[in-house]
Structure 1
Amino acid sequence: MSVFTRSGFDTFSGEFKGNTLHDQWDSRVAKVGGKVYAVFGEHEDGPPTLVFKCPQETFEILTALAGVTQAPYFAKRQWVSVSADADLPEDEVRAYIANSHRLVAAGLTKAQRAEIGL
């Protein structure tokens, strides 16, 4: 099932410890410890998109690809928006989302991580 569908996004993100899903900002938002790590959005005027956090070095590489841009409305540069028609294989997108979960979870307090089983 494609991660670029709502059900695919829900199923994939549900594999991560501490994951919660929310309908927010006209999108489907995956959080860990109350912090956003990925967003799935459907658009009337284009393909679905996924937004996630990545390291600075990866940000530079990803945004050089067709269909990948800096995520709008996210103040920090390490958030990218990847469209379903981007020049990026879906297995790599899944790996980047998994890494985003790790990055965001690492920023939680020790107590928060213990509370959600990380």
Structure 2
Amino acid sequence: MSLGGPELEAVANRVARALDGVTEGYPFTDSLLVHKVRGRVFAVVTENPDDPLVTVKVDPEDAGALVRQYESVGRARYFDKRHWVSVAPGPGVTASLVEELVRDSYDTVADRLPRRERDTLDRSRGR
């Protein structure tokens, strides 16, 4: 079943908060909740009922495939268009898709952390 705006935001936040080493805050505006792993952004949840979005980091090849496959997935605003996509409510946007995208984004960012930081993360947490 496709998610509506509040459900999209809730799923993304629930998954992000369950992952190890995650902090969150509002560094940009009071309607953009930013999730970070060891200080690096991996997900942004737009808390705006008129424009609910979840923005995540993806592999560039996956970004193109996601944009082609889902009409409500597009290149992210204000982020590198090759590496980030924004997901809005729409056909095919399910809880399992959002869960997978948030976890994959976390892994993508965590994989690029310095070894000493990366090795302290419990990557099985929140799975």
TM over 0.5: yes
Name the % identity. 27
- Pick closer, same or farther for the CA change 1:106–1:73 going to 2, 3 Å: same
The normalised TM-score by structure 2 is: 0.79
Q: Conserved in 1, the CA contact under 8 Å of 2:12 and 2:98?
A: no
Find the partner of 2:82 among 53, 77, 80: 77
Paired residue type of 2:26: D
- Pick closer, same or farther for the CA change 1:89–1:9 going to 2, 3 Å: closer
- Pick closer, same or farther for the CA change 1:87–1:24 going to 2, 3 Å: farther
Q: Which has the higher contact order (CA 8 A, sep 6+)?
A: 2
Separation (CA, whole Å) in 1 of partners of 2:74 and 2:85: 6
Paired residue type of 1:25: F
Map 1:12-23 to 2 at 5 A.
12-23=15-26
Show structure 1 runs of 5+ residues with no match.
none
Q: How many angstroms does 1:114 deviate by?
A: 3.2
1:31 is aligned to 36
Paired residue type of 1:89: T
SS at structure 2 position matched to 1:99: helix
The normalised TM-score by structure 1 is: 0.84
Find the partner of 1:55 among 44, 54, 59: 59
- State the superposition RMSD in angstroms: 2.1
Q: Conserved in 1, the CA contact under 8 Å of 2:12 and 2:102?
A: no
Q: How many angstroms does 1:59 deviate by?
A: 0.5
Which protein has the bigger strand share?
1
Q: How many angstroms does 1:45 deviate by?
A: 3.5
1:103 is aligned to 108
Separation (CA, whole Å) in 1 of partners of 2:91 and 2:98: 10
Aligned pairs, how many? Answer: 115
SS at structure 2 position matched to 1:59: helix
The answer on 1:88 being equivalent to 2:93 is yes
